[in-house]
């Protein structure tokens, strides 16, 4: 069997690693216990988490043991990484509820049968810590100079980094130390925005325990233009079917930019790389075959085969002989209008009598784009909104319109 490190590298997961040769050797010679953390900032995981779950699943398939950590403790502080403002403070009830939701969703992707994986909550140990004891036992191994140079804190300078958030790195590092004691965890994995926090844990174990520990980050899910992937007219692309329907989820992947197809097939499906490369090499109209495969495979993993089939059939009906027929009122968008506000386009073409009417309808949930409810009156049209150059708008229950790229 191929070394899973090589598998992750070939598929494009690996962004940074504390010791590439050391990690590869370790993964090749023994079953390694590793962990990834999920802070309960919402009541559902989103597509960014899904990429991490795919990496964990590859590791588990290769015989390694995942520890899925939900942040019942770190969630009380909030990770400042990549943020310009402070996260909303959650109540203990919110955190507990969100952790429970995460556990149910993670269990769909990771096998928790006897001995194969662990689910832990860092609230079990972080909430019991004595502050003075933590300062003496752990704080002595951190230098403020080093912490302040971390990328995780730089984006918070403008509005001010609170002492509450400053402690986040120490808490995450302590998690790694605790899991090293509890279950022999040797490797922490996470998104590349967690690099500073992961290094802190690796260095804490080495200094305090004088034993090796490793860190590995996977690439963040971004579009070819560098923007984060997973934003839709209705907000984030959630894994919970109640928050993002399987149909909307399918449509998102069916409509992504041509340049992102091969990367998403490699990261978000288990298709062999030969097939990924074949599909990724398709051009022009033929690339739609690859997008259909991507949408079906990702939806099947997240929502199950039955929902994936339903979504595929629904999309084909709508964009084939159904609502996207030539009989619908059709508006052609110029190249300059791509990126414009949907509200402006619809008002300009008489769908709304005025922009204020449009804003009112959107606030009431009366406008959908490709069957996804539009919640932001300032939403701007994106390339991925157009499947085969077409997007469908519904006003109320009965009025349908078609937008076509020039």
- Specify binding-site residues for ATP: 231
Strands 330-333 and 399-405: parallel
What is the rounded CA–CA span in Å between residue 160 and residue 336? 39
Q: What share of the chain is helix, strand, coil (3-state, %, to 5)?
A: 50, 15, 35
Return phi, psi of residue 331, to 5°: -120, 130
Return phi, psi of residue 9, to 5°: -70, -45
Binding residues for L-tyrosine, by number, are 35, 168, 172
- The secondary structure of residue 26, as a DSSP letter, is H
What is the rounded CA–CA span in Å between residue 144 and residue 249? 43
Strands 367-369 and 372-373: antiparallel
What is the rounded CA–CA span in Å between residue 53 and residue 106? 8
Three-class secondary structure of residue 118 per DSSP: strand
- The secondary structure of residue 86, as a DSSP letter, is P
Binding residues, by number, are 35, 168, 172, 231
Three-class secondary structure of residue 42 per DSSP: coil
What is the rounded CA–CA span in Å between residue 306 and residue 400? 28
């Amino acid at each position: 069997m191929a070394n899973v490190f090589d598998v992750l590298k070939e598929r494009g997961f690996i962004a940074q690693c504390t010791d590439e040769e050391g990690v590869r050797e370790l993964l090749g010679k023994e079953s390694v216990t590793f962990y990834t953390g999920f802070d309960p900032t919402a009541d559902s995981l989103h597509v960014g988490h899904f990429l991490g779950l795919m990496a964990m699943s590859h590791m588990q398939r290769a015989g390694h043991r995942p520890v899925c950590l939900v942040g019942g403790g770190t969630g009380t502080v909030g990770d400042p990484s990549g943020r310009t403002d402070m996260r909303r403070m959650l109540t203990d009830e919110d955190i507990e509820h969100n952790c429970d939701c995460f556990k149910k969703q993670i269990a769909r992707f990771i096998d928790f049968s006897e001995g194969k994986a662990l689910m832990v909550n860092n609230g079990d140990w972080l909430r019991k810590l004595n502050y003075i004891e933590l300062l003496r036992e752990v704080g002595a191994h951190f230098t403020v100079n080093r912490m302040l140079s971390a990328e995780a804190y730089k984006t918070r300078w403008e509005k001010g980094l609170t002492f509450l958030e400053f402690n986040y790195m120490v808490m995450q590092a302590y998690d790694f130390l605790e899991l090293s004691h509890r279950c022999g965890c040797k490797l922490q994995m996470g998104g590349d925005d967690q690099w500073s926090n992961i290094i802190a844990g690796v260095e804490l174990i080495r200094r305090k325990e004088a034993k090796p520990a490793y860190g590995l980050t996977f690439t963040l899910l971004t579009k070819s233009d560098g923007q984060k992937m997973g934003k839709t007219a209705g907000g984030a692309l959630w894994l919970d079917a109640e928050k993002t329907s399987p149909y909307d989820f399918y449509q998102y992947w069916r409509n992504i930019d041509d340049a992102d197809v091969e990367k998403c097939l490699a990261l978000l499906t288990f298709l062999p790389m030969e097939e990924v490369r074949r599909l990724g090499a398709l051009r022009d109209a033929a690339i739609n075959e690859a997008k259909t495969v991507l949408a079906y495979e990702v939806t099947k993993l997240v929502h199950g085969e039955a929902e994936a089939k339903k979504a595929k059939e629904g999309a084909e009906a709508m964009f084939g002989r159904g609502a996207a027929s030539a009989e619908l009122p059709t508006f052609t968008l110029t190249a300059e209008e791509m990126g414009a506000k949907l509200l402006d386009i619809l008002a300009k073409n008489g769908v709304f009598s005025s922009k204020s009417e449009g804003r009112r309808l959107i606030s009431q949930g009366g406008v959908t784009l490709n069957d996804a409810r539009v919640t932001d009156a300032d939403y701007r049209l994106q390339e991925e909104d157009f499947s085969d150059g077409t997007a469908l708008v519904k006003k109320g229950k009965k009025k349908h319109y078609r937008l076509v790229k020039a």
